[in-house]
Structure 1
Amino acid sequence: MDKHAGDIAVAVSQAYGVDTMFTLSGGHVFPLYDGAVHENMRILDVRHEQSAVFAAEATARLTRKPGLAVLTAGPGITNGVSGVATAHFNGSPVVVLGGRAPASRWGSGALQEMDHPPLFESITKLAFTGSGADAIGQDVEMAFRTALAPHRGPVFLDFYMDHLFSPAEERATETLAPSPLEPDPDRLAEIARLLAEAQRPVLVLGSDVWMDRAEEAARDFAEEFRLPVIPNGQGRGILPAGHELLATRARGLAFGQADLVIVAGTPLDFRLGYGWFGGKDGAPLARVVHLADAPSQLATHTGLSGSAAGDLSMLFWALTQACATAGVTPRPDWTEKLREAATSAIAADADLLESDADPIHPMRVYGELNRQLDDDAVVIGDGGDFVSYAGKYVEPRRPGNWLDPGPYGCLGTGLGYSIAARIARPSSQVVLLLGDGAAGFSLMDVDTLVRHNLPVVMICGNNGMWGLEKHPMRMLYGYDVAADLQPQARYDQVVTALGGGGELVTKPSEIGPALQRAFDSGVPYLVNIATDPEVAYPRTTTGV
């Protein structure tokens, strides 16, 4: 069979581990679909292009292989921009292949003629147009190699339509893995010295620890030197729920009184107070060490006492050796202080997790959910206040099983993430936590779950408002505008209309049985829970 350029693009993608193409149909990219049929690649079509990119991104984050989205020209591609931006902020290796009006008609006003790469230059590692049918294999190889090289991130590549339809010669694909960057031993020795001097150290483990396959090395390092750990993003679960070193519930005390904070695999952004720690209850400001997978990720906006870049597995193993040489010893008094604080915080919350308050307190939802989650459950958060509670009260038992939008904070990720999670983890529970605001961005893609037989349990915390905006606006101005949604809107009926299952819950006692029905249903199922609109997640930091 003669090969066309679409065949070659798909074959190269498969060589890099891609087995699913996420897309929404469009004529500019038909040869890529034809190539997927020829090469037996799964095509997963969605109802909005943003879901295709979000699904590709979640695939990358769950499998630690590149994700692939294929978008048709013009609006198909612009609809995917927020997904690409999210992948950029999360450091997710996603390749987006786009269609483009024909070269033979370029400049004459062809349908959806648009120069796409400039739109993506600031949110990708590379954005470019293929140079021709004969070079398509080389161009796609470049896209995947670039996406996978540290620091990982998205790449956009579009093709002129007539080039995609053209014959092309098959060529051998060299899937060259990027050479691991070895950390500087002198920098590690300095970090070990700082840790040896510290009395109140804290270790933060972020998403890149998981993405770099460094979870075992990081856990061994923490356990060897008895370091309290606060996980961030996909670092959640590296120390499982209940681990004695897990200091999530003592976060305020840990960050407020620490004299050394080692932050690994995540930026020093608003989620971590921009890198300012210590200073609480008379404690001095903490020294800060930043560990990253690439030099470009090391913080430059705040003073660091130490830093190192490199493959994070290699880095943690080498740092363990350096700390042993430096004579680092555990600080049991500090570790015990944080453990007691965490235990007290858990005990203090017990009543709300069992609350019979009517209207329903959001915490009661998580008290019920935690009893039904398996150890390997994948939990996805897409929302504001409602999902903030999840970040505090749902503690994964394994790494790589938590997904949220990340620092870009883009709502609407949930359905795309759920599609990918059900494919990547076919035997696990997949639970999507939706705010009622977030539900409006992507709930139509329940149709995708139904058509492709992808059962997911969706839990909607429905307080009839944009809670993350309504309460702060009231506080600032004494009033609020543009913050109300329809009270108890029947999002569950949207799901049933699309072929799934669902129900509305208005009483605390109904939550547990409704969740059980959802898990037992074997279909996409939404439990629509009416929560108290007067309850706001207690925030102590902002993103400004």
Structure 2
Amino acid sequence: MSQKIEGHGGALALAALRAAGVEELFTLSGGHIFPLYDAAHEAGFPLYDVRHEQTAVFAAEAVAKLQRRPGVAALTAGPGVTNGISGLTSAFFNAAPVLVLGGRAPQFRWGSGSLQEIDHLPIVRSITKHAATVTATDEIPQVIRAALAASLATHRGPSFVDLPLEVIFGFGEAEIIAPDVPVLTPDPDQVARVAALIAGAQHPVIIAGSDVYAGGAVTELRAAAEALTCPVFTNGMGRGALPPTHPLAFSKSRRIALNGADVVVVIGTPLDFRLGFGDFGSAKVVHLVDAPSQLAAHVEDAVGCAGDLRLILTGLAEHAGDRVDHTDWVATLRDAENAAAVKHAAEMTVESDLIKPARVYGELRKVLAPDAVTIGDGGDFVSYAGRYLEPAQPGTWLDPGPYGCLGTGMGYAMGARVTYPDRQICVLMGDGAAGFSLMDVESLVRQQLPVVIVVGNNGIWGLEKHPMQAMYGYDVAADLQPELRYDDVVIAMGGAGETVRQADQLGGALKRAFDSGVPYLVNVVTDPADAYPRSANLA
């Protein structure tokens, strides 16, 4: 279905976005894209503005990931676009269907030195699926449609469209058509082969990642796991795909599982540093992905299958056949899981002079609702969140992903609050990460977007200080001002907050934060000597 409209370039662009299901724009005001604002104003279309362009792109990424549809940021020319590069790169690594619309100096005066004149495309091409400059006003919807189609097609990712000044301010008419998103059908023989491998394994393990949620394959994952009686571990937005109470859901016994597995099935996540680059000892590795480009070429003899993950997982359930009895294997892992749970429970209730991050999460677990969206923006402090928090539902966990970019917190919070007006939104932030985006609390306050921010304030770059000391016996450039009052910063911008120095004050502070109805920062002074027990390598 299509419709023909006419108007200035901003109106044509907005019509193309709305046809693709876009419901809001994130931006930082810039004259190069005024017609887009005019169109949004005339249509009553929501605009959310920020204090730094990276926040706009991170907010669009959060919407794209949570809602599994395009998230859009509109950035002015030159520094507006370059300020958004980290957000674009994060979306690229996280396979988020983000579209960035960039203002651009006028083509008719190109080379004369117009304000913020720079060719953005060479800068963004390596971190986008599609990048283009519109050359005529009539072509704006067509170019935006192509960009959105590229972003939504598997493997998903960001796109970029440049709108030169005379193009977006000009007038034209065009057909508005929603983008087509093809479905990639997997090879049925490969699906059957994978199903036979799992069914015939003595000790199979499934690791499911973000693309299971992004591809809408959560129900199919559960069905396949149950048909194959296969234990499931998750990472990224795959967390919560099986609720923590499911008999096949595991989180604390992964090392034991991988050491004992004979077949490891990795679904919808790369075999990168987070998974030891796919080196699972003698286990056979199976990699199930949504597009051939995502198959792990570096893992020798891995069995791969690419296609719509819903179809792959449905096929696995249908081909389960005469599987080996995995009851003893599942019971062994459950014993290890239960033992680890007892250990974690003790860690989350420990009494100490200085607050341990584990205690923060023990108290947070008591007040988080099952559908709360939890956002991680930090190093060691957020690593502990992955260890102690167990999302009860899929699509409720946001972290920077494999690119590891700090500064996502306020943008993710904005996108999450726009997505879920009535849920708890909780940002977990290291004090290092706070320096990247905390000023955008003002954007949340001004636009009445309440969130809770919990800062683990240990006064150091913990992810660097402790490893440097272990490697060299000293550290440099790894200290921050101790006990800074990040809560006072939030209060000064119209929010609220408090500093906590004693563990028995945590519960009350967190309750006040969630009850406040404003951006509220709980500034927890934590033990700087506490280091997360890391096992992953950078390379």
- TM-score exceeds 0.5: yes
Q: Give the aligned partner of residue 143 of structure 1.
A: 147
Q: CA deviation at 1:2?
A: 6.1
SS in structure 2 at match of 1:142: helix
Asked if structure 2 preserves the Cα contact closer than 8 Å seen for 1:101 and 1:112, the reply is yes
Please say if 1:245 is aligned against 2:240: no
Match of 2:381 among 386, 406, 409: 386
Q: Which residue of 2 aligns with 1:287?
A: 284
Alignment of 1:171-250 (within 5 A): 171=175, 173-250=176-253
Distance 2:257 2:380 in 1: 23
- Identify the residue that residue 400 of structure 1 maps to in structure 2: 395
Question: Which residue type is aligned with residue 270 of structure 1?
Answer: F
After superposition, the CA RMSD in angstroms is 1.1
Match of 2:490 in 1: 495
Alignment correspondent of 1:297: 294
Aligned to 2:156: 152
Distance 1:167 1:20 in 2: 23
| Structure 2 portions without partners, runs of 5+ | none
Conserved in 1, the CA contact under 8 Å of 2:213 and 2:395? Answer: yes
TM-score, structure 1 length as denominator?
0.97
Q: Which residue of 2 aligns with 1:3?
A: 7
Aligned runs of 1:30-179 on 2, under 5 Å? Answer: 30-171=34-175, 173-179=176-182
Runs of 5+ unmatched residues, structure 1: 279-284
Cα deviation code 1:460-510 (max 9, x no counterpart): 000000000000000001000000001110000000000000000000000
Match of 2:313 among 313, 316, 336: 316
Structure 1 residues 390 and 527, CA gap change in structure 2 (3 angstroms): same
Distance 2:318 2:227 in 1: 10
Partner of 2:432: 437
- Residue of structure 2 equivalent to 1:363: 358
2:364 is paired with a residue whose SS is helix
Give 1:458's aligned amino acid.
I
Residue 263 of structure 2 corresponds to residue 260 of structure 1: yes
Identity of aligned residues (%): 55
- How far did 1:40 drift? 2.5
CA distance in 2 between counterparts of 1:395 and 1:113 reads 48
* Runs of 4+ residues over 3 Å off in structure 1: none
Deviation at 1:373, TM superposition (A): 0.8
* CA distance, structure 1, for counterparts of residue 538 and residue 223 of structure 2: 33
**Residue among 275, 279, 283 paired with 2:278:** 275
Q: How big is each residue's C-alpha offset from its partner over 1:391-433, in whole Å with a ceiling of 9 and x where there is no partner?
A: 0110000000000000000000010000000110111100000
What SS class does the counterpart of residue 439 from structure 1 fall into? helix
Secondary structure class of the residue paired with 1:169:
strand
1:100 Cα deviation after fit: 0.4
> Matched residues in 1 for 2:19 and 2:218: separation?
26
Q: Tell me by how many angstroms 1:110 deviates.
A: 0.5
For 2:478, the equivalent position in structure 1 comes to: 483
Q: Which residue matches 1:12?
A: 16
Q: Deviations over 1:164-206 (max 9, x none)?
A: 10001142x2224322111101101211221132111000111
Inter-partner Cα distance in structure 2 for 1:2 and 1:252: 59
Aligned to 2:414: 419
